[in-house]
């Protein structure tokens, strides 16, 4: 049969199975799970008292009831000592986030576990060092020693800023408070370099600087608010595919009217009904199609704007609302800094022009009709029949964050939320929906804002050492083809030096590396769980522990802090990131001591952690006191508290009341001040900037506007390419092209095409879809087999150094077919709308 199917059975956990609490480590939603572990060869019985789930398997598990173990929830793992265990990872019905549901990501956690006899056996198990012509397995001592000597020598000779890094800053897998604290302490306190960047971008910055500058922490609402709101505005986010259980468990019931009673209880005396949704996206996504099917088209509005025109749209909606007097004048008067309102009216609303002039201009820029603009403004803000204000939530994610001009993109949406007073009540809020979970705790970043654009600096020959952890810039950074060229070209100078010194000791080899760096070389360190495209060009590779192989803590999109327990050994001799940084710092400290360097001895001290909880508690001490603590503040909480709190955890920021940790559901309730010096929020003047010159040049030269996005799969497919179910569904990236353009290009579904422009090229298979308008091509993001980011320009918002990943322009060339895919790959679009 062409399509992979798992076995026709799974063993049930016996009542003696060990049980762990954990949270799916992938997306921001953070669904709760239970992990059952029991020896291979044992199985529980069908009767509820005979299995650890307590489920009656003498009859089929009823639909929509948690308790069934899907084959992808299960694996047989092998521990370091060779003992083998069944593992079943089952969604937690008691967790208020997912209520027993799983997505296609969390539902395959079992399949993702390390198995030496399975497809995940490509995990990194031992340190690797480039010796002579190849990376070879070696000991921790050897790999750490060479690395420590190069870093120490580089700091001594060329200063702290000669060390560059690109490292995760998130929660969930490959992150968490423990690993983030270790990274921060190592690079900010010990190395003290400004040349840092975050996993998915070329600088050390926030993706939502604008929201924070306006006094609005970006994670200010709770999942339950999506059940209680009147109108959900999803702006540049495709939640059905990418925040699946936020959509299915919280938004969808609201659209279907199933939460009306909850609304009546939470909002007494107000006229409430089934919710409505506005999706703002240049694609007709699965979220649009599913919402229409579930709620009916009359409660779904899709604004299919021209890519990159979000600021113009947000400004026009605000102008209509202001003109119709649907804004919240009390809120503006009491909660917003008065002096920020007029610049907003002048620049964002263009109050000197007539409404007609503004709307005519907006129609031209966005491609949307006046009727659509009026309808959206009405759904967001028009007073209801009973005189009450509607409650509206504004959700945004990568379509905005990675859209044209990050700072004003985000600010223009926060403006709308402030204008309509949608903060501090059930069913309100404005923030990012998120990709990863969060878990940020670090000493202060020593660099400036805007931070240095380190991808640019690397390509210009700057930097001695490039330390990459838990990310894959060869695939995911902007203008990724340039990054690969930089890594290969500069990395080869160091490889040549190591080739020439294959028999030498580490002292000699480190000196040879430093000499090669003087000639333009770059020493590349990668710390990861798989041999990524970036790891392939590294000189040292450190094997890291993954989710479930070391305890971590993180928060989800509603700031729910939980303990993700360890339930299995890391593969080989892999270690958690915090421990690797601890070992490396101790080695550098030893070199400094031997050298009599008191300064570096001091900076690299304090890394002798023994347990993950030690790191967690040390990081927690760094949070400031007071009400205006950072979103992540967890000081006062320890692992025992979190273990007792289970998969519902506690919502940060945590304050200690009468000696007990206390969380919060949402921000700005009961007059809580905004996070500015005045305690009032700031409006931000936002003007649509038009396309930057580097992008306009591509648009003028190539026929198709290129945008990109995600599907059901997680990030760079690092696990998914090793999970048969996912791997065969996404063997390579796809493009979506309109039927009109497909006909013009002579393209059929499944045809292989090359996309190209002045910056790079990518190869993908064709999906013909009405999701995109003629003239626009969508490509799946971050697939390592061929990356859409080879086609992005080097343009970043100069205010915050955030790339415009979502916009480029390309030519297209048909390359024929990969005939074997026809029998085993569906070419239907992920929004389900088939094209005849």
The C-alpha atoms of residue 572 and residue 550 are separated, in whole angstroms, by 14
49 binds other proteins (CB under 8 A): no
Residue numbers 379-408 binding other proteins by CB under 8 A:
none
Which of 32, 104, 173, 619 binds other proteins (CB under 8 A)? It is: 104
Residues 727-766 close enough to bind other proteins by CB under 8 A: 728-729
Site for other proteins in 108-127 (CB under 8 A): 108, 111
Element housing 590 (H / E): helix 577-595
The residues near 289 (Cβ < 8 Å, ≥ 6 apart) are: 831, 832, 833
The burial class, CB within 10 Å (0-12 / 13-18 / 19+), for 435 is buried
Closest distance of CB 101 from other proteins, Å: 7
Q: Which of 294, 629, 665, 699 binds other proteins (CB under 8 A)?
A: 294
Stretch that binds other proteins, among 8-16, 442-450, 557-565, 687-695 (CB under 8 A): 8-16
257 binds other proteins (CB under 8 A): yes
Q: Is 43 in the site for other proteins (CB under 8 A)?
A: yes
- For the segment 669-728, give every residue that binds other proteins (CB under 8 A): 711-712, 725, 728
Name the DSSP class of 606.
Answer: S
Beta-bridge partners for 395: 234, 431
Q: Check if the beta carbon of residue 243 is closer than 8 Å to that of residue 289.
A: no
On the CB side of 214, how many CA atoms lie within 13 Å of its CA?
31
Q: How far is the CB of 162 from other proteins (least distance, A)?
A: 46
Among 49, 59, 325, 624, binds other proteins (CB under 8 A): 59
Question: Reduced to 3 states, what is the DSSP secondary structure of residue 764?
Answer: strand
Q: Are residues 416 and 394 in contact, defined by beta-carbon separation less than 8 angstroms? A: yes
70 CB neighbour count, 10 Å cutoff: 17
Of 228 and 537, the one with the shorter C-beta distance to other proteins is 228
Q: Which of residues 800-829 bind other proteins (CB under 8 A)?
A: 823-826, 828-829
Structure tokens at 378: 């009405």
Q: Between 140-158 and 506-518, two packed helices, what is the crossing angle to 10 degrees?
A: 40
11 binds other proteins (CB under 8 A): yes
Tell me if 63 contacts other proteins by CB under 8 A. Answer: yes
CA Rg, the chain, in Å?
27
253 binds other proteins (CB under 8 A): yes
């086609």: which residue's tokens? Answer: 791
Give the closest residue to 275 by CA, choosing from 333, 245, 233.
233
Tokens 């048969």, located at residue: 724
Taking CB under 8 A as the binding criterion, the range among 287-295, 427-435, 443-451, 599-607 that sits at the site for other proteins is: 287-295
Q: DSSP letter for 769, please.
A: -
248 makes contact with other proteins (CB under 8 A): yes
Whichever of 502 and 832 has its CB closer to other proteins, that residue is 832
**Applying CB under 8 A, does 12 fall inside the site for other proteins?**
yes
Contact 604, 190 (CB under 8 A): yes
User: Which strand ranges, in their side-by-side order, compose the sheet holding 231-235?
Assistant: 300-303, 276-280, 231-235, 392-396, 429-432
Nearest to 236, CA basis, from 197, 188, 196, 288: 288
Of 37-45, 338-346, 461-469, 480-488, the segment contacting other proteins by CB under 8 A is 37-45
For other proteins, which is the closer residue by CB, 29 or 359?
29
Q: Does 3 bind other proteins (CB under 8 A)?
A: yes
Residues 213 to 242 in contact with other proteins, rule: CB under 8 A: 240-241
Cβ 274 to other proteins shortest distance, Å = 10
Task: Find the binding residues for other proteins in span 67-96 (CB under 8 A).
Answer: 68-74, 76, 86
Pick 633 or 729: Cβ nearer other proteins: 729
Contact flag: residue 347 with other proteins (CB under 8 A): no
Min. distance of Cβ 50 from other proteins in angstroms? 9
Size, binding site for other proteins by CB under 8 A = 72
Smallest gap from residue 166 Cβ to other proteins (A) = 31
Query: Rounded to whole angstroms, how far apart are CA atoms 391 and 386?
Result: 13
Q: Quote the least distance from Cβ 331 to other proteins, whole Å.
A: 32
């Amino acid at each position: 049969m062409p399509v992979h199917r798992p076995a026709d059975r799974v063993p049930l956990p016996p009542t003696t199975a060990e049980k762990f609490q954990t949270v799916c480590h992938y997306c921001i939603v953070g669904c709760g799970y239970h992990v059952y572990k029991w020896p291979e060869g044992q199985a529980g019985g069908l009767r509820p008292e005979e299995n650890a789930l307590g489920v009656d398997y003498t009859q089929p598990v009823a639909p929509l009831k948690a308790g069934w173990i899907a084959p992808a929830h299960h694996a047989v793992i092998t521990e370091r000592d060779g003992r083998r265990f069944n593992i079943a990872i089952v969604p937690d019905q008691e967790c208020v986030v997912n209520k027993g549901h799983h997505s296609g990501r969390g539902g395959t956690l079992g399949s993702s576990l390390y198995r030496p006899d399975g497809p995940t056996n490509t995990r990194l198990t031992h340190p690797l060092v480039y010796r002579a012509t190849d990376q070879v397995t070696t000991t921790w001592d050897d790999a750490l020693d060479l690395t420590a000597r190069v870093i120490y020598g580089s700091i001594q000779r060329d200063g702290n800023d000669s060390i560059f890094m690109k490292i995760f800053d998130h929660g969930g897998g490959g992150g968490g408070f423990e690993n983030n604290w270790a990274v921060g302490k190592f690079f900010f306190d010990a190395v003290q370099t400004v040349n840092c960047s975050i996993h998915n971008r070329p600088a050390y910055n926030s993706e939502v600087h604008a929201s924070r500058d306006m006094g609005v922490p970006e994670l200010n609402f709770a999942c339950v608010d999506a059940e209680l709101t009147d109108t959900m505005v999803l702006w540049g986010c495709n939640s059905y595919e990418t925040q699946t259980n936020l959509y299915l468990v919280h938004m969808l019931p609201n659209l279907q009217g199933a939460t009306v009673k909850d609304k009546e209880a939470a909002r007494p005396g107000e006229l409430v009904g089934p919710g409505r949704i506005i999706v703002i996206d240049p694609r007709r996504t699965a979220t649009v199609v599913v919402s229409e099917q579930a709620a009916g088209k009359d409660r779904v509005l899709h604004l299919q704007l021209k890519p990159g025109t979000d600021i113009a749209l947000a400004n026009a909606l605000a102008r209509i609302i202001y003109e119709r007097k649907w804004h919240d004048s009390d809120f503006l008067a009491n909660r917003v800094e008065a002096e920020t309102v007029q610049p907003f009216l002048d620049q964002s609303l263009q109050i000197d022009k007539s409404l007609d002039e503004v709307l005519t201009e907006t129609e031209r820029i966005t491609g949307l009709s006046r009727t659509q603009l009026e309808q959206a403004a009405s759904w967001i803000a028009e007073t209801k029949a009973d005189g009450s204000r509607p409650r509206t939530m504004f959700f945004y994610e990568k379509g905005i964050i990675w859209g044209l001009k990050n700072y004003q993109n985000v600010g223009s949406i926060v403006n709308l939320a402030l204008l309509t007073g949608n903060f501090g009540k059930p069913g309100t809020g404005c923030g990012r929906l998120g990709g990863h979970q969060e878990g940020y705790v670090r000493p202060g970043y020593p660099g400036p804002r805007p931070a240095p654009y380190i991808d640019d600096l690397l390509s210009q020959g700057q930097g001695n050492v490039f330390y990459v952890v838990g990310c894959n810039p060869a695939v995911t950074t902007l203008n990724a083809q340039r990054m690969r060229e930089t890594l290969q070209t500069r990395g080869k100078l160091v490889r040549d030096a190591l080739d020439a010194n294959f028999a030498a000791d580490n002292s000699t080899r480190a000196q040879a590396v430093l000499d090669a760096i003087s000639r333009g070389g770059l020493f590349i360190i990668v710390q990861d769980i798989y041999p990524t495209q970036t790891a392939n060009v590294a000189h040292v590779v450190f094997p890291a522990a993954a989710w479930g192989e070391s305890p971590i803590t993180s928060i989800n999109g509603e700031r729910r802090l939980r303990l993700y327990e360890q339930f299995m050994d890391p593969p080989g001799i892999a270690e958690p990131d915090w421990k690797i940084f601890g070992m490396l710092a101790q080695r550098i400290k030893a070199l400094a001591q031997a050298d009599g360097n008191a300064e570096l001895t001091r900076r690299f001290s304090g890394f002798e952690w023994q347990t993950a909880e030690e790191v967690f508690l040390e990081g927690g001490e760094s949070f400031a006191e007071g009400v205006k603590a950072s979103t992540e503040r967890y000081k006062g909480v320890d692992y025992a508290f979190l273990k007792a709190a289970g998969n519902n955890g506690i919502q940060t920021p945590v304050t200690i009341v009468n000696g007990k940790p206390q969380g919060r559901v949402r921000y700005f309730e009961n007059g809580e001040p905004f996070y500015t010096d005045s305690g009032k929020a700031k409006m931000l003047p936002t003007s649509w900037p038009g396309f930057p010159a580097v992008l306009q040049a591509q648009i003028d030269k190539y026929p198709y506007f290129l945008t990109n996005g995600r599907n059901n799969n997680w990030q760079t497919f690092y696990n998914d390419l090793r999970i048969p179910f996912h791997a065969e569904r996404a063997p390579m990236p796809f493009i979506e092209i309109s039927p009109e353009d497909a006909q013009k290009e002579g393209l059929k579904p499944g045809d292989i095409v090359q996309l190209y422009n002045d910056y790079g090229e990518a190869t993908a298979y064709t999906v013909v879809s009405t999701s995109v308008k003629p003239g626009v091509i969508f490509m799946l993001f971050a697939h390592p087999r061929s990356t859409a980011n080879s086609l992005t320009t080097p343009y970043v918002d100069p205010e915050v150094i955030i790339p415009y990943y979502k916009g480029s322009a390309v030519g297209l060339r048909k390359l024929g077919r990969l005939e074997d895919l026809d029998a085993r790959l569906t070419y239907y679009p992920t929004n389900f709308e088939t094209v005849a």
